[in-house]
Amino acid sequence: FSETEKIPVMRGQWFIDGTWQPLEEEESNLIEQEHLHRFKGQQLQESFDMEVSKPVDGKEAIHSLKLSRNHVDWHSVDEVYLYSDATTSKIARTVTQKLGFSKASSSGTRLHRGYVEEATLEDKPPQTSHIVFVVHGIGQKMDQGRIIKNTAMMRDTARKIEEKYFSNLATHVEFLPVEWRSKLTLDGDTVDSITPDKVRGLRDMLNSSAMDIMYYTSPLYRDELVKGLQQELNRLYTLFCSRNPEFEEKGGKVSIVSHSLGCVITYDIMTGWNPVRLYEQLLQKEEEELEDRWMSYEEQCLLEELYRTKQRLREIEERLHGLKASTISKPPVLKFKVENFFCMGSPLAVFLALRGIRPGNSGSQDHILPRTICNRLLNIFHPTDPVAYRLEPLILKHYSNISPVQIHWYNTANPLPYERMKPNFLNPTKEPTSVTDSESASTVPSPTTSPVMVRRHYGESITNIGKASILGAASIGKGLGGMLFSRFGRSSTTTPQTLETGKDGAEGDDKKATTAGTPPFPHSGSGFLEPAVELEHRIDFELREGLVESRYWSAVTSHTAYWSSLDIALFLLTFMYKHDQEDPDKSNLDSI
């Protein structure tokens, strides 16, 4: 961030009596040099009490130092006073001294060398056992240094939670901001030069925020964004380890908290995803379609020759890669293993859906993020955040009808541990009111299909690419305004068209279920269920809405409201201190 916004770190040597505020560093250094030159080797009085300011009536200064606007008098080695040389101060000193008051007691400010409390070995901060890299999303160019302030807010709230729930632990979690946007050049000022002047403020805001999404979808600039974040993560990790050499030796862990577009870039860095893969899949699909249609003899010969040429090209490429791998050992993309990947207000699900990710038959996180790369993926969102989407329905389709896990309020007494919370429907099944309803209720779905149910407003399936995902992705591409209003445009009530779609979907599900022979999907009247296939671990976690919260106003503010949330701070620390919580000796953590 800019030079003017840098936060100075100063060494305090000389302090003002009473307030114990440090002097300006420049003056403090001059006083320190003069003090050491004049009094080095002399002992302080044993009876000297740093908390009591004693006047030096009748004592003459044994040494003085002239500063730019002040001067300092030493009456002894441990009695040092600072005086202002302003005209009003000189007049006041003259008047008070004529009235019988001493110079020091009338206008001098006593100085102390060293702070009121001496440092001890126990004052050092607890050992850092877990570091969290906090990655920003769009808008950093518009408000440079914002991620520094947001991380500071998250760190402060985490400290409060640590003091309340984890105070008996000898280690702590450290949050480190990752600012990757400001160092990128991208197109320079080309976009600014083609921006019209009318409503310039709004246009500049969109250029500095939503334009990052356009850059990331551009084949020309995508790699620059990925490398910018990757290099900054590795640089910060190397720097931290150089200053904390015991971190790796003692098995320190690393987690990443990403916000908004930062989630997508972080995911692509960890998995190594590249648009070239998508292009290769498209070519393979076209080849399969060519094989299925009728062709002339000449076309068949040309196609066979094309296949042989491609096969030969692949063999040459593999040999070339083999030679490179034997001579140059490629370093890992990241210099550390990611323990937890927390997504906040994340559009990652939309990007994955548009890349062709579809639900599978296994409840493993490996379907979208292998555990060998990241031990745990957690998707945090506010229910009215217009940029956030769910990830669980991309693994198992029927989870689009299962509500996300509700994040506990930080002051909840004896909350149920997240691992013990059973999945439940977004809305409990209602009694059938017609023959059609009765048939729908008795439908036997497969593990990869969804029961037809009334859905909540924001619970729309992310796998419905024809409507939810494509509209959501298009709105992202159009900017922040599109993001906000695309979600408002969805009706919370079920339209006739939706009912027809649902009916067709139910018929298709019936056919699949009949062929698959999957056991029924049992559930109770309370809304809890026991699906045939469950996720190994829940991924979607939802903040609770406030009782007096306006949904429309919240939709505008919720995307940036994660940083200071005590609920999120407790949630993050609960998973990072998971191994300590499992320790039976840690009794004060049992309630979390």
Q: What is the 3-state secondary structure (H, E, C) of 494-561?
A: CCHHHHHHHHHHHHHHHHHHHHHCCCCCCECCCCEECCCCCCCCCCEEECCCCCCCCHHHHHHHHHHC
Helix, strand, coil percent content, the chain, rounded in steps of 5? 45, 15, 40
Catalytic residues: 260
Antiparallel, parallel or unpaired: β 79-84 and 109-113? antiparallel
Question: Taking Cα atoms as reference points, which of 241, 214, 225, 152 lies closest to residue 185?
Answer: 225
3-class DSSP state of 276: helix
Cα distance from N-terminal residue to C-terminal residue, the chain? 38
pLDDT 10s per residue in the chain (592 long)? 444 566 677 778 899 888 888 888 888 888 888 888 888 876 655 444 444 444 455 567 888 888 888 888 988 888 899 888 776 555 555 555 554 445 545 567 899 988 888 777 777 777 899 999 999 998 776 677 789 999 999 999 999 999 999 888 878 899 999 999 888 878 777 888 888 988 888 888 777 777 888 888 888 888 889 999 999 999 999 999 999 989 999 899 999 999 999 999 999 999 988 876 666 666 666 666 666 667 788 888 887 888 888 888 888 888 887 776 655 545 568 999 999 999 999 999 999 999 889 999 989 999 999 999 999 999 999 999 999 999 999 999 999 999 999 999 999 888 999 999 988 888 654 444 444 444 444 444 433 344 434 444 443 333 343 343 434 444 444 444 443 344 434 433 333 333 344 434 444 444 333 333 333 344 444 445 555 789 999 999 999 987 656 777 777 788 888 999 999 999 999 999 886 655 444 434 444 4
Rounded CA separation 377/382 (Å):
17
The position carrying tokens 């207000």 is: 345
Phi, psi of 23, deg, nearest 5:
-70, 165
3-class DSSP state of 51: coil
Domain ranges within the chain, ordered by starting residue? 14-40+57-113, 125-286+332-403+552-583
Rounded CA separation 379/425 (Å):
19
432 membership: H or E segment, kind and range: none
Q: 537: which 2 tokens? A: 């671990």
CATH architecture of 125-286+332-403+552-583: 3-Layer(aba) Sandwich (3.40)
Residue 561, Cβ neighbours under 10 Å: how many?
Answer: 16
Residue 43 to residues 46, 127, 182, 289, Cα–Cα distance (Å): 8, 36, 52, 92
Using CA atoms in the order 564, 568, 570, 571, what is the torsion angle rounded to 10 degrees? -160
Beta bridge partners of 381: 542
Residues 6+ apart with CB under 8 A from 327: none
Antiparallel, parallel or unpaired: β 374-381 and 540-542? parallel
Rounded CA separation 480/404 (Å):
25
Residue 355 to residues 3, 227, 273, 458, Cα–Cα distance (Å): 41, 21, 10, 22
546 membership: H or E segment, kind and range: none
The pLDDT score that the predictor gives to residue 160 is 94
Residue 469, Cβ neighbours under 10 Å: how many?
Answer: 22
CA 386 to chain centre: 17
Rounded CA separation 25/13 (Å):
8
The pLDDT score that the predictor gives to residue 474 is 40
Identify residue 271 by its one-letter amino acid code. T
Rounded CA separation 64/75 (Å):
9
- Burial class of 431 by CB neighbour count within 10 A (0 to 12, 13 to 18, 19+): exposed
Alpha-carbon radius of gyration of the chain: 33
Q: What are the residue ranges of helices labelled H in 244-337?
A: 246-249, 261-271, 275-292, 297-327
Give me the helix-helix angle, 261-271 and 222-243, nearest 10°.
80
CA 431 to chain centre: 43
Residue 239 to residues 245, 336, 504, Cα–Cα distance (Å): 10, 13, 57
Rounded CA separation 585/43 (Å):
49
The pLDDT score that the predictor gives to residue 204 is 80
415 membership: H or E segment, kind and range: none
3-class DSSP state of 488: helix
Beta bridge partners of 339: none
